């Protein structure tokens, strides 16, 4: 990376990777370690957009899961009125692109990917977080290799919920992935994420979506009725267990819809999920341990500096 790049905190900012209405994404590099990252640079806004941004940052700071994109650092720059999010660099493109490249996943591919995504969403739900905009474009691959990991990103529409009281009201999401209860606009809960995941798993297995129509109005009517099918011949090679889990995830009544916890115990996923759960827990513990070591090192340096300062004052 060019040494002429702007430096913010411990990070040097490099070339632009992409841009949207309110944010740009640039390549970043840690000045001391050389570790690369993606820097999301957001213009600070007021009103409801400021609240959404604060929620996104709070969620990114809180989450620690191997299949959720990691946030290394957050810097609020008062001078430029911008917020800098230093994120794990995901260079493998979107899960959607991977599906298009392959045509569809094999059933074994789909089992492993499904477990990772369901486990990540189960983790979010356990923290009282609903993602609310799950779609293949918000699932990124770590690199271009066949062994790349998939990770969930984009918490711009996510929300903390309270199990006791809060019913989310704001209609949000992406056509084709929105749950029926969100469209009915009478309030909804974290179950909306399970529906969206069900749509994604359907696409993983056959390469096309379960709900499609000539316009959004017709599409939404089909979603509200839960009107889809396992089209032949595309679904002929797929197991009944896979179809059963999708049916349970694409259940119109959210109270009867399967939870993430129960999905991991479903016959289609259970055996592989048991193996993967140990790996997931190990990775999470290692991350926590490395964070503790970094914090301890920082505190040790601060303590040494304080002692050096007080010694100088005494002399």
What residues are annotated to the active site? 133
CA 288 to chain centre: 19
SS3 276: helix
Q: List, in order, residues 6 or more apart from 65 with CB less than 8 Å away.
A: 119, 120, 123, 124, 280, 284
Cβ atoms 193, 130 nearer than 8 A: yes
DSSP letter (8 states) at residue 73? E
| Residue 176 falls in which region: left (phi positive, over 0), alpha (psi -120 to 50) or beta | left
What DSSP letter does each residue of 230-260 carry, written as one string? --TTTTTTS-HHHHHHHHHHT-SSTTTSPPH
Q: How many angstroms separate the CA atoms of 282 and 287, rounded?
A: 9
Pairing mode, if any, of strands 36-43 and 71-77? unpaired
DSSP letter (8 states) at residue 42? E
Cβ atoms 84, 40 nearer than 8 A: yes
Pairing mode, if any, of strands 23-30 and 11-19? antiparallel
User: CA Rg, the chain, in Å?
Assistant: 22
Q: Which helix (H) or strand (E) holds 19?
A: strand 11-19
What DSSP letter does each residue of 149-187 carry, written as one string? PEEE---TT-EE--TTT--B----S-TTT--HHHHHTS-
């Amino acid at each position: 990376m060019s040494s002429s790049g702007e430096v913010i905190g411990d990070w040097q900012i490099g070339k632009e990777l992409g841009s949207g209405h309110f944010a740009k994404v640039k390549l970043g590099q840690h000045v001391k370690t050389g570790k690369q990252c993606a820097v999301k640079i957001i213009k600070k806004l007021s009103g409801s957009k400021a609240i959404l941004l604060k929620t996104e940052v709070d969620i990114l700071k809180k989450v620690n899961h191997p299949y959720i994109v990691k946030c290394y650092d957050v810097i609020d720059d008062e001078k430029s009125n911008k917020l800098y999010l230093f994120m794990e660099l995901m260079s493998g493109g979107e899960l959607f692109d991977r599906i298009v490249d392959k045509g569809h996943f094999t059933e074994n591919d789909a089992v492993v990917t499904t477990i990772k995504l369901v486990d990540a969403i189960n983790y979010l739900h356990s923290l009282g977080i609903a993602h609310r905009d799950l779609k293949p474009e918000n699932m990124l691959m770590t690199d271009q290799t066949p062994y790349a990991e998939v990770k969930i990103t984009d918490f711009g529409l996510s929300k903390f919920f309270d199990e006791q009281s809060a019913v989310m009201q704001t209609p949000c999401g992406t056509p084709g992935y929105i749950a029926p209860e969100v469209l009915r606009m009478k309030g909804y809960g974290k179950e909306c994420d399970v529906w969206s995941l069900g749509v994604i798993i359907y696409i993983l297995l056959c390469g096309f979506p379960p709900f499609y129509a000539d316009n959004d109005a017709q599409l939404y009517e089909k979603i509200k009725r839960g009107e889809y099918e396992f089209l032949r011949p595309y679904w002929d090679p797929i197991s009944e267990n896979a179809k059963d889990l999708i049916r349970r995830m694409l259940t119109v009544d959210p109270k009867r819809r399967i939870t993430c916890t129960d999905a991991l115990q479903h016959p289609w996923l259970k055996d592989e999920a048991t193996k993967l759960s140990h790996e997931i827990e190990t990775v999470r513990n290692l991350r926590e341990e490395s964070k503790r070591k970094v914090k301890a090192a920082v505190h040790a340096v601060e303590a040494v500096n304080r002692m050096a300062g007080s010694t100088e004052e005494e002399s």
